[in-house]
Chain A
Amino acid sequence: MSIIEVKDLKKSYNGKEAVKGVDFIVEEGETFGFLGPNGAGKTTTINILCTLLKQSSGTARVAGFDCLKQPALVRSKIGLVFQEVTLDNELTAYENLKFHCYLYNMDRRLTEMRIDEMLEVVGLTDRKTDIVKNFSGGMKRRLEIARGLLHRPSVLFLDEPTLGLDPQTRVNVWDFIKELKADIGNTVFMTTHYMEEAEACKRIAIIDDGRIIACDTPENLKRSLKGDTIYLKTNDNKMAEREIIKKFDIEVKSVKDSLALIVEGGEKFIPKLFDGLSVEVQSVSVKKPTLDDVFLYLTGRDLRDGKPAQQRKIRG
């Protein structure tokens, strides 16, 4: 059964299109990832699904409810962990969680039970009555994830869950999300611009400039490249490109100051390639396909080269 259905979703801000017609389906229990550079439309899409923004056109349904027409019903079915910290720094961990439970209309007994349960899951039981202000970045993230799960949502949305964390903490938080997924088994919808994080998803949609350019399992996406990527830099790339196309009949893409070509058995191909080129080779490398390469191949750009993240405040 599909738990998220999005059809031809579009969103414009002040005449500029941020999401330009997006379609996808997420199955129940799946971990689905949105991978793309900053500014690609990931957060805008997640905000529409979470009923924080209204789309300009198209439809979005979450857990059987329409995001535009039944926002309150959608909200009762989802949990959300935002890019930035959204805890109240002046309150204790317990008070932050209690606030959430009461907003979700849980009674006192259930509130106490779930708070203890979730604090245990995220390993913050001994910090229950501490003011959040003094927590580290990783602890705050864990507390936010605990909060997002208090009301047992059908879908947990994680918008760049490791943004702004140091590499060590990122790994910890990510391991934790994977364990949690194994324990709780609900649907997870996440966005990221780190390809290592996207690898952990069952399926991913690669989004660029407001459009989905590929959507499949990470394995299939990598397999779609049909081989290894050879990066080649010569003192005349244009010449080299013509020669490769003429002699080997393979597609060549220009990526920054290098050429990228995809061949099966990349290592064995290099000697043949060198023999076939008349221009001087400056550098050459072979890479087993990663999601970065998939992105690169589809867009001609590196994932990290994306436009800088635009900070948009949700008014309310």
Chain B
Amino acid sequence: MLSWKAIYVIFLREFKRFYRQRGRLITTVARPLMWLFIVGAGLTSIIDTGEHGSYMQFILPGIVGMTILFSSIFSTLSVVWDREFGFLREMLVAPVSRLTLVAGKLVSGTALSLFQGVALLLIAPFLGIHVGAKEVVIMIFLITLVSFSLTAFGLFIAARLDSLEGFNVIMNFIILPMFFLSGALYPLKKLPEPLYYLSFINPLTYGVDSFKHILLPGASTLGPELSLPIDIFVVIIFSVVMTALSAASFDRR
């Protein structure tokens, strides 16, 4: 059912494209740094966290979440791009199952997000966050899981987008609200009630919360708000549902 060679070559292609599109590469590095050191630094001076940690420490898990959210969604956007430029047909007439194509895109999207998410951990020591070998291993596991779920979600959307113009709408009405309502920039319990409940249907909330468990273990107000097993459980369920839905949406008519 699955062709490993096909999955490998789809991954290779996405990776080469990512590497060759310099603008995308630079944006990828610059975006989280701007959030951390411009938005973060700016707000640190006016926000009294009321406990030991600073605001800049608090947003690191959120910025990791944001980075993989953007990376996952952007990499699935290549499906829309491929459709617009015809390359998708080259894949659709190949003697491989639709599931293989979906798996190829999932593996590539997840891997690209994983690299970027893990690279951000290099900043942690400079913010005064302790990240040892154990934390790195757990974070790699969590980032992989969250990246996978968001890539599957992105594929599900991309399968429904007819053109790149539609992406603006997705960006403004899905991606940004997901980021803002994930607990990345402020603790959820401080949100007004409707928004508080809304944040629970946001899959990214659980991902960001799981990162807080590892990166901000001692924090109270700024720390995790849900239990880690629940976070992981929700992310896995979301991944399975989205994978099934996106595989189904690539069938011919």
Chain A residues near B (Cβ < 8 Å): 50-54, 71-73, 75-76, 78, 80, 82, 84-91, 95, 98-100, 102-105, 147, 313-316
Q: Which A residues touch B91, using CB under 8 A?
A: 103, 316
Q: Which B residues touch A313, using CB under 8 A?
A: 83, 162
B232 within 8 A of A: no
**Contact A314/B92 with A85-B86, A90-B20, A95-B16 known, Cβ cut-off 8 Å:** yes
Given contacts A87-B87, A102-B6, A315-B83, 7 further A-B contacts (CB under 8 A): A50-B93, A75-B94, A99-B13, A102-B5, A105-B6, A314-B92, A316-B252
Report Cα–Cα, A71/B9, bound state, in Å.
22
Cβ–Cβ contact B6 & A103, under 8 A: yes
Cβ–Cβ contact A51 & B93, under 8 A: yes
**Contact A314/B88 with A50-B93, A75-B95 known, Cβ cut-off 8 Å:** yes
Cβ–Cβ contact B86 & A84, under 8 A: yes
Could you name 21 residue pairs across A and B whose Cβ atoms are closer than 8 Å? A50-B93, A52-B93, A80-B93, A82-B89, A86-B87, A86-B89, A90-B20, A99-B13, A100-B94, A103-B6, A103-B9, A103-B96, A105-B3, A105-B6, A147-B90, A313-B83, A315-B159, A316-B91, A316-B159, A316-B250, A316-B252
Cβ–Cβ contact B94 & A104, under 8 A: yes
Q: Select from chain A the residue with minimum beta-carbon distance to B13.
A: A99
Label chain A's interface by main secondary structure.
Answer: loop
Report Cα–Cα, A85/B90, bound state, in Å.
10
Cβ–Cβ contact A99 & B9, under 8 A: yes
B253 within 8 A of A: yes
Cβ–Cβ contact B86 & A82, under 8 A: yes
Report Cα–Cα, A104/B89, bound state, in Å.
14
Residue interface bits B91-129, CB-to-A below 8 A is 1, else 0 = 111111100000000000000000000000000000000
